Homo-oligomer: A and B are copies of this chain.
Amino acid sequence: MVDGTRRVVTKELEADAPRGRPRDEAREQAILDAAIALVAEIGYDAMSMEAVASRAGVSKATIYRRWNGKAELIADAIGRMHPQDEFADPDDTGSLRGDLMALISTMFAKISGIDGGLFCGLAVAMRADSDLGRLLDEGKRDYHERIQRLIVSRAQARGELPGSAEPPQLMDVVVGVSLLHLMSGRPLDSEFADYLVDRVLMPLLRS
């Protein structure tokens, strides 16, 4: 997904000599954009394929030529969705706690954006495309590990952590607990961020 390899779900011919009129790649993106926008706005099952087609300025047939159905379209759309700034390295705030808080703020903003419909759409789409979860995961895993190493090594350089620190996957903990928090109807506010940093992340790093 991150590299050039296309998603599996997309119907592809992969003919050696591409005959006939080629598909318009711009339309593909327009459809994906429209799908993401609609799911985020009104939710997965309130979103109709006609609405996607209409917003993308495309005919329904053009959608079904590329994807086999609603769930598959959403699966692909979410799978290919990547805020462009996601993979940037975070700034050095000068302290471990500051770095962690900055990281969590970014994460909260992103998860909050995936509120409601989109998360629900993701859950449904996962049923139809069991590879989705894996693909979603693979794209982020490398980035998450890099961020974690960066923050840890900065803290070690500052003397805040011992050189032997070997913490678990912190990002998994952050995202998992935050998701659960959200599902319980509680807000991703600064109080929760403090709790996460001081009672979970710091102890794990210092263990």
B-binding residues in A (CB < 8 A): 43-45, 116-117, 119-120, 122-124, 126-127, 130-131, 133-134, 136-137, 167-168, 172-173, 175-186, 195, 199-200, 202-204, 206-207
Contacts and interface: CB of A to CB of B under 8 A. Distances in A.
B126 A168 contact: no
Contacts of A180: 172, 175-176, 179
A137 B172 contact: no
* Residue of A123, A126, A199, A207 with most chain B CB atoms under a 10 A cut-off: A123
* Residue of A116, A119, A131, A185 with most chain B CB atoms under a 10 A cut-off: A185
B204 A200 contact: yes
Contacts of A195: 168
Contacts of A186: 137
Contacts of A122: 123
A144 to B, nearest CB: 11
A117 B127 CA distance: 7
13 contacts: A116-B127, A119-B123, A133-B183, A137-B185, A137-B186, A168-B195, A168-B199, A172-B177, A173-B177, A175-B176, A179-B180, A204-B207, A206-B207
A126 B186 CA distance: 13
Contacts of A43: 124, 127
Given A172-B177, A179-B180, A203-B204, 6 more contacts: A116-B126, A120-B124, A123-B124, A131-B185, A133-B185, A173-B173
